[in-house]
Structure 1
Amino acid sequence: MRNGRSVPTYQTLLQFAEIFKLDKDYLLGELNQGDFPQAEPGFLAKKTLENPDLAIIYELLQKEPELKKALVELHLMAPKRRAFYADMIASLVRANKRHRDKI
């Protein structure tokens, strides 16, 4: 841990390199220096999404940048903690469906 931030595992680093189309050696160098590259706002995705659910999620993430940040943090959590929060989010969405008239 550096400056209160988690250091990604090597596998996570490889995933980041693939997602952001960066050289893994570049990311390793940045990680070793303690300077983390600042990502520009936006998303990396195909021009057209074949899965309609992914298109809806993509649109939601564009409209709600705080949700995007929270999901990135969720992705970086330990598996048990991530599962706990994912279940909590799903429960809140289900509760909203049941109680639409009250909100």
Structure 2
Amino acid sequence: MLGSRLKFLRGKRTQEDVAKAISVSRARYSHYENGRSEPDTQTLEKLADFFNVSTDYLLGRTDNPDLIQEKNEESLLDPELGVFFKEIKNAPEDRQEQLRKIWEIIKSEGNREVEDD
């Protein structure tokens, strides 16, 4: 299942392109597609991130490649976070853009603090 999903998702990209993006050799990636070996958890997560799908989709646990299901599950673990995401989603576009900019500032401040330590 994993191999066929990887081939499908790769589309017109080369194996070399995907391998480079996830920091493995082309041969190793080819083994994943051909079912000769399985990626470790960290590599599986890199593949899911690269293709913008869930790890469950890659593993054949769901036929829905969207990450929405995983995000909904995460918000169930923290109901306050779920409410926050819903409010952002329903906010006017200009407000969403303001929040994105604020979030980028917060992230950059956090990165600077880590660099200063």
Short-chain TM bin: 0.3 to 0.5
* Structure with a larger share of its residues in helix: 2
User: Bigger relative contact order, structure 1 or 2, given CA contacts below 8 A and separation 6+?
Assistant: 2
Larger radius of gyration: 2
TM-score (norm 1): 0.37
TM-score (norm 2): 0.34
